[in-house]
Amino acid sequence: MITRMMRQKAIRGPLPGRPTARAAGSVEHQAMLASRLTARDKWLLALLHEHRVLTTAQIQDAAFPSGRSARQRIRDLYLWRAVSRFQPFQQLGSAPMHYVLGPAGAAVLAAEHGLDVKDLGYRHDRAMAIAHNQRLAHTVGVNDFFTSLIARSRYHRAAGKLVVWWSEARCARHFGDLVIPDGYGRWQASTRTGSEVEWFLEFDTGTESLTKVGRKLTGYARLAESTGIATPVLVWLPTSRREAGARTALARVHAQLDAPHTVPVATAAADLLDPATPHPSPAEPVWLPLTSSRTTRATGPRYSLAELPDAWPGLAPPADPATPADDGDPAEMSAASPFRLPPPSPIPPRATPNRVARGEH
């Protein structure tokens, strides 16, 4: 009633019905989740485990038809402690809500693979620590790059689809002794041939010196020499002006490599995307390869992701996409060497309406 005043603190209290952290790990809570979590929910939990943090908009791009359905479902997952959330400080306006894997969600993932939560190397405090990590903006930016490609796949099937997405941590486990990419991806064209292009991503936020950006090519050259595989390196930059400077630094290092053809490079800038178009993404024709004598200039024909192999006629097609084994016997795992789950597919499972999860559609 209007005559009954309520303190503002009470209005802003925790949402009702959210169990405690201890209750979220109980057998009863896991039994409840068994009747409520859909295949898409579990896929989203695996995505959070692999890529650490996703915003509400990224979750929508990855799996939901609208912002309303995404917010409704992620709220349920939050109430069930399948996910946890935080909102970083922002000088102007409000930052979007950021989500990480919650304790109940980690228990579900572990149970699916016949493991204990400790075998995954998961700890809730470590998952939430990304909120204070200096690389939070970089991690969110990399994830935004790939989730926009997933959205492009879902809404513009003629453009192709993202079929592989590895996190920086997974790349580090495979290639960390030589180079640590910000991510690895594979795009499949929508043509009958189903041609694919794979790449390592270098996501630039404008904080590193351009000299340091260029020097990274030497690590990719060593990787190509050790594996015998030429994998394109895509450098994503915030502005066209910075792209022009980065191309000068990249071209200088690229020309000094012993075998430059083993390290194909292309650059693109975020301001080349038209925000007025629905679902803008790096799949659009924004990529400029380092191939001509004018490599230091950000001019020339730009390619889409699907067209990039045409810029390097001698580039061999990607090998079998099967993931190299980077897991192990759970009995031999420890907290220092946790069991590695396979990377989740970038393609979300098709949602099927039902009595319980109707609110997510």
In-domain check, residue 355: no
When mean pLDDT is compared across 185-189, 325-329, 349-353, the lowest value belongs to: 325-329
Domain count for the chain: 2
In-domain check, residue 1: no
CB-CB contact of 113 with 341 (8 Å) = yes
What is the tally of helices (H) and strands (E) in the chain?
13, 9
Same-domain pairing of 331 and 221 = no
Same-domain pairing of 172 and 63 = no
Residue 269 has pLDDT above 80, yes or no: yes
Residue 333 has pLDDT above 60, yes or no: no
Same-domain pairing of 120 and 144 = no
Query: E-assigned strands of the chain?
Result: 54-55, 83-86, 98-101, 161-166, 183-188, 196-203, 233-237, 265-269, 288-289
CB-CB contact of 253 with 217 (8 Å) = yes
In order, the DSSP letters of 63-88 are H-SSHHHHHHHHHHHHHTTSEEEE--
For the segment 110-136, what is each residue's pLDDT rounded down to a tens digit? 999 999 999 999 999 999 999 999 999
pLDDT at 277: 84
328 confidence band (pLDDT: 50, 70, 90) = very low
In-domain check, residue 350: no
Going by C-alpha positions, the residue among 235, 242, 255 that lies closest to residue 295 is 255
What pTM, to 2 d.p., does this model score? 0.87
Give the dihedral sign, CA 322/326/332/333: negative
pLDDT at 101: 97
Residue 335 has pLDDT above 70, yes or no: no
In-domain check, residue 58: yes
Give the separation between CA 227 and CA 175, rounded to whole angstroms. Answer: 10
Same-domain pairing of 70 and 144 = no
In-domain check, residue 354: no
Same-domain pairing of 125 and 146 = no
When mean pLDDT is compared across 128-142, 208-222, 313-327, 337-351, the lowest value belongs to: 313-327
* Average pLDDT rounded to a whole number, residues 55-69: 95
For 4, half-sphere exposure in the C-beta direction (CA atoms, 13 angstrom radius) is 2
Same-domain pairing of 173 and 125 = no
Same-domain pairing of 128 and 141 = no
In-domain check, residue 304: yes
In-domain check, residue 7: no
Is the model more confident about 323 or about 33?
33
Highest-pLDDT range among 7-16, 149-158, 263-272, 311-320: 263-272
For the segment 30-58, what is each residue's pLDDT rounded down to a tens digit? 999 999 999 999 999 999 999 999 999 99
Q: Mean pLDDT score of the chain, rounded to an integer?
A: 86
322 confidence band (pLDDT: 50, 70, 90) = very low
90 confidence band (pLDDT: 50, 70, 90) = confident
Highest-pLDDT range among 164-178, 273-287, 304-318, 329-343: 164-178
In-domain check, residue 262: yes
Share of the chain above pLDDT 90, in %: 68
Give the separation between CA 55 and CA 87, rounded to whole angstroms. Answer: 9
Same-domain pairing of 186 and 274 = yes
Going by C-alpha positions, the residue among 51, 52, 173, 45 that lies closest to residue 110 is 45
Give the separation between CA 77 and CA 54, rounded to whole angstroms. Answer: 14
pLDDT at 18: 81
Same-domain pairing of 249 and 100 = no
Helix (H, G, I), strand (E, B) or coil at 304: coil
Same-domain pairing of 85 and 175 = no
Share of the chain above pLDDT 70, in %: 83
pLDDT at 104: 96
Residue type, 89: F
Neighbour tally for 290: CB within 10 Å: 22
Domain end point (choices 311, 334, 353): 311
- Give the CATH number, domain containing residue 83: 1.10.10.10
User: What residues make up the domain containing 224?
Assistant: 136-311
For the segment 292-319, what is each residue's pLDDT rounded down to a tens digit? 444 455 567 899 999 999 999 889 888 7
Same-domain pairing of 99 and 163 = no
Give the separation between CA 48 and CA 81, rounded to whole angstroms. Answer: 13
For the segment 211-222, what is each residue's pLDDT rounded down to a tens digit? 999 999 999 999
Same-domain pairing of 152 and 223 = yes
